[in-house]
Amino acid sequence: MPTATRAGMPWHVQLVEYPPPLTGGRADIVQTGSRLGMCTLDDMRKLGLPVGPVLYCATHLLLHIPVEAGTAHRWHVPQTLCRPGSTSCVVTGPETGGGRCHRIWMTPHDSTHGRTSASDLRHRLLVMRSALATGRAA
């Protein structure tokens, strides 16, 4: 499970299946692995970039990150998936765990953002992916 506190930046955890209210209406959902996703979101918060609520699936170790509607058709980031409004887990292979999803919503304690910026998320995911691959990420 991703850490609820990292570098002194806690997350509020809600044990519910339904999302906190998303400002601005519909959202597309970026799905990524929990390690890449949490490292990226923590990095974004350190940089002062907008980060909204995140749905974490403990069964599949995935994060679902709401971004602006209309993002899915132009999303091309390795090791991620973006779909219009869907928070269902898309998993492949035997190592992904099976069974029912066990999920929680996490919201940055200091955030007033209804969703994470898709362009900032895309850029920071690519940077963090490279950093993790070369061992430069903390």
Residue 11 structure tokens: 């997350």
Q: What is the pLDDT of residue 103?
A: 83
Task: Give the residues of the chain that fall short of pLDDT 70.
Answer: 1-9, 14-25, 91-99, 111-113, 137-138
pLDDT at residue 65 in the model:
94
Instruction: Give the pLDDT confidence score for residue 18 in this predicted structure.
Output: 62
The model carries a pTM of: 0.80
